[in-house]
Each structure stands twice: as C-alpha cells, then as structure tokens.
Amino acid sequence: MTQILMPALSPTMEEGKLAKWHVKEGDAVKAGDILAEIETDKATMEFEAIDEGRIAKILVPEGAEGVKVNAPIAELTQDGETAKPAPTQTKTIPSPLVGEGAPQARKGGNGHAVPAAPAAANLEDPAIPEGTEYINMTVRDALRDAMAEEMRRDPSVFLMGEEVAQYQGAYKVSQGLLEEFGPERVIDTPITEQGFAGVGVGAAFGGLRPIVEFMTWNFAMQAIDQIINSAAKTLYMSGGQMGCPIVFRGPNGPAARVAAQHSQDFASWYAHVPGMKVVSPYFAADAKGLLKAAIRDGNPVIFLENEIVYGRTFPVPKLDDFVLPIGKARVIREGAHVTLVAHSISVGLIMEAADILAKEGIEAELIDLRSIRPLDTDTIIESVKKTNRIVTVEQGWPVCSIGSEIAAAVVDAAFDYLDAPPLRIAGKDVPMPYAANLEKLALPTIDDIVAAAKAVLYRQ
C-alpha cells in the first residue's frame, strides 16, 4: 500500500484545494494518468500518477480546501514486480521548504546563527628595492606592458575585443601586441559585446585566461548578464568546482563631450556584486602592477581605466615583475586635518585640491582607493581616526555611490571619531549633457572639493 500525498506544485505552495478527482476507488491507474486537479496559489494543476496500481481508497474528498502539502490524499495498491513501495512515498519526510518549520528555515534558522563574513586579508604593496630606477611612462603604455609581460609569461593569456589587433586598439592600449603575439592571441571581435563576453567566460571555463577589452565600459552594459550571471556567480553556484579567471577591461567614466551614452562611471555597479574584484587605478605604476595581478587572479576582475588618464605620464619602477595586491588602497599624501578619498581620474582632482588647501594651512590626507572591491575600509578608517573628517570624490552618480558606501563604513566603524558628517562629492544626478558648460557643471571640480574640505572643518 502506498499513500499518495498532496503535492507541492509551485515554489510557494503550502496548501491547496483538491478541486476534482479524475479517478474513483477501484480504478486502475498507470504512470501519466491524471489523478486529480489541484488548485495551487498560482493555477489549477493536473496531478499525475507516478506508479501503476489500483486506487484503494480516497482519503480527501473532492472540493476539500486547505489541504496541507504532504497530507495523504489517497491510497494506492501496487502489484507485479514494482510491488515494493518506494520508501520516499510511504513516509512523509519533513520538508526544509514547505509546511511546518518553514519560517525558521527561511530565516536562516535551523538553530544556527548567521555566520559572520570572513575578514579581509592584510595586504601590503611589495617593497621596491632601494636604488630602483623609475621610468616615466603613460598609463596607456603601462597597461600595454602589463598585458605583454603576462602574455609572455603564460601562453593561456590572450586578448580579445573590438579593434584590439589590426587597429592597435581604439585607444591604442594594445599597440604592438598583434605584432608580438600574432592573431591567435590578439583577436579582433565583431561588435557583439554580449557574445564575446560570453565566449571569454567559456574560454576561461575551458582553462584559458582571457583579457576581454570593452571599447568602453558603456558598451559592456550589453554584456552585463554574462559578466555577473555567468562569470561572477559560477564559482559559488558550482560549490567551488568552476571558477572564472578572466579580466574585463576598458575605459570607464566620463570622457569629454561625448554626452550621456558614452559618459558614465560604472564603479558602483560592479562593486555591488559578490564573486568578482573591481580595480580602478590612477597612476601608471598602479595600472601596471594591478593589471598584472588581475590577469593572474583566479576570479573575474573588472578593470576600470579612464580615457582621459591614458595619456598622463607617471614614474613606473623598472622591475622585471611588478605585481600589486588587489584590495589595498594607498595613502598618497599624509595630512592631519581632513581625509580626501578618490579613485581613478578623481585622484588628480584631490591632489590639486590638497595643494590649494595647503596654502590655507589645511593639511589633507589623500587616499587613492585603487581597488573598489574588495574596498580597503581599514586604510580609510585609520585615516579618519586621525583626521576626524572625510570627503569622498568620484565621477559617478551620487545615489548608491562608492562615496555612499564609504560614508556608511566610516559611520559604522568610526562614528565616535567623526567631528563632522562625511561629505560626498559626486557627479550630478543627471545623464551627462553635451553642452560644454553643462558638462562642466555635471562633474566634480577642484573648487567643489576645496569647499567640501572646508565645510567639514567648519571653515569658510
């Protein structure tokens, strides 16, 4: 004798109505026959027999409402070689999802507290040996050198994207790579972001280490499903089996006079997502050291460059293998009065603002985030404990911004140290306008930063 139980027919069903019996006592049934119609919270469903047998008894009459999932609704006798009833059919197994106990299970109960997230690793930049020669280099060339060095080191590293090969890169970041590594490793793609982002993910699953260049991050919105759903989540969804070592890189943030669809900072979009790392350097040395780290990383890394910064020149240490840790901010200037935090092109703005403030006797401490995820909140909080004041600066929109996250982190960890509320300087909350004057108004300026620093110091 096997009991037929009230089935759960939707992810949310806990009870239902037995709308209609299609069989009566004594009827022979075989697999696939409709036994009954059941009204769930979503629809009326036909409920089929799974085994052959004869309906011995109907336990719940037609029209009964509020029949709990897993309650016996009929009894089936089986004969022939399948007489031995399936053990899961004869007993009611407590469900982790439906029925009694469900609320506790849903709230992460089961008698266990929700465990704390693991603490971030303590990272430090590698020491640069004394006497190391520095070469002045553009950010563009530093990025190119990082890719070339990693491609020489590891044959599984390759670069794909629009115009990366024959055209030498839309912004000339991949200049010379085709000549050195050939068309098998430097691959021009069609204009098909979602497609080639997914091809990159598949290639990473297949054991390669792809660098996928987006001509700009604006176009990567076409591919964001592959970046998040396929690249970032698969390690977790596979219980640690898979992993996706891939770098998505390209220019990010407002350029100049290209208007709304080509001027956007995506740092906070990607920073939101667990399962990947987000890097956004300003200096050439950081661009090189972090891109090399990104290519070697076992995780998807979002590498946010900046078109306007490509042509800026900075010193880069002349070392054979200069690799920096992802997730470590850098204090680029020490100061006692106010902490200014920025990433990418905004780092240049806080440096200029600090010079102006210095003339008025205000010593600003400057932090270059370099990485957005993991975010080095330790370095920020340590600074705030010293200065008691913080201003964040970014090109992106103000709502749910990197500055919002930093402000929350500082309030959480250093509330008692603050002598003023954290101030956030961000791009204005509008699509980027084209007109030169409006564009200027939409972006943070040095004057904005100077004014904010004075405001948190309560000075005019």
* Residues involved in catalysis: 193, 262
Helix axes 446-456, 346-359, angle to 10 degrees: 60
The yes or no reply on residue 261 touching another protein (CB under 8 A) is: no
The yes or no reply on residue 16 touching another protein (CB under 8 A) is: no
The least CB distance from residue 52 to another protein, in Å, is 11
Among 24, 110, 124, 130, binds another protein (CB under 8 A): 110
Neighbours of 262 (CB within 10 A): 18
Which CB sits closer to another protein, 12 or 136?
12
Gyration radius of the chain over CA positions? 30
The yes or no reply on residue 26 touching another protein (CB under 8 A) is: no
DSSP three-state, residue 72:
strand
Which CB sits closer to another protein, 197 or 456?
197
Is the separation of the CB atoms in 204 and 231 below 8 Å? yes
Cis peptide before 11 (omega within 30 of 0): no
The yes or no reply on residue 107 touching another protein (CB under 8 A) is: no
C-alpha distances in Å from residue 371, one per residue of 293, 348, 385: 12, 16, 21
The yes or no reply on residue 5 touching another protein (CB under 8 A) is: yes
C-alpha distances in Å from residue 15, one per residue of 10, 36, 69: 10, 15, 5
Which CB sits closer to another protein, 2 or 387?
2
Which CB sits closer to another protein, 37 or 439?
37
Among 27, 59, 72, 92, binds another protein (CB under 8 A): 92
The least CB distance from residue 215 to another protein, in Å, is 16
Strand partners, 37: 20, 46
- Site residues for another protein, 336-355, by CB under 8 A, read none
The yes or no reply on residue 11 touching another protein (CB under 8 A) is: yes
The yes or no reply on residue 398 touching another protein (CB under 8 A) is: no
The least CB distance from residue 330 to another protein, in Å, is 22
Is the separation of the CB atoms in 249 and 207 below 8 Å? no
Q: Which helix (H) or strand (E) holds 286?
A: helix 284-296
The least CB distance from residue 206 to another protein, in Å, is 3
The yes or no reply on residue 2 touching another protein (CB under 8 A) is: no
Report d(CA 212, CA 407) in Å as an integer: 33
- Site residues for another protein, 262-301, by CB under 8 A, read 274-277, 297-299
C-alpha distances in Å from residue 268, one per residue of 63, 280, 397: 53, 11, 9
The yes or no reply on residue 226 touching another protein (CB under 8 A) is: yes
What six digits make up the tokens of 419? Answer: 């002598």
Report d(CA 138, CA 148) in Å as an integer: 15
The least CB distance from residue 189 to another protein, in Å, is 7
- Is the dihedral angle over the CA atoms 226, 229, 232, 235 positive or is it negative? negative
The yes or no reply on residue 96 touching another protein (CB under 8 A) is: yes
The yes or no reply on residue 311 touching another protein (CB under 8 A) is: no
The yes or no reply on residue 43 touching another protein (CB under 8 A) is: yes
- Site residues for another protein, 169-198, by CB under 8 A, read 184, 189-190, 192, 194-198
Among 206, 415, 437, 458, binds another protein (CB under 8 A): 206
Strand partners, 76: 2, 55
Among 21, 158, 181, 269, binds another protein (CB under 8 A): 158
Report d(CA 252, CA 135) in Å as an integer: 26
The least CB distance from residue 124 to another protein, in Å, is 19
The yes or no reply on residue 50 touching another protein (CB under 8 A) is: yes
The yes or no reply on residue 78 touching another protein (CB under 8 A) is: no
Which CB sits closer to another protein, 99 or 433?
99
In the numeric block, the tokens 């009065």 are attached to 337
* CB within 8 Å of 312: residues ≥ 6 apart: 138, 139, 284, 348
Among 25, 132, 153, 236, binds another protein (CB under 8 A): 236
For another protein (CB under 8 A), the number of binding residues is: 84
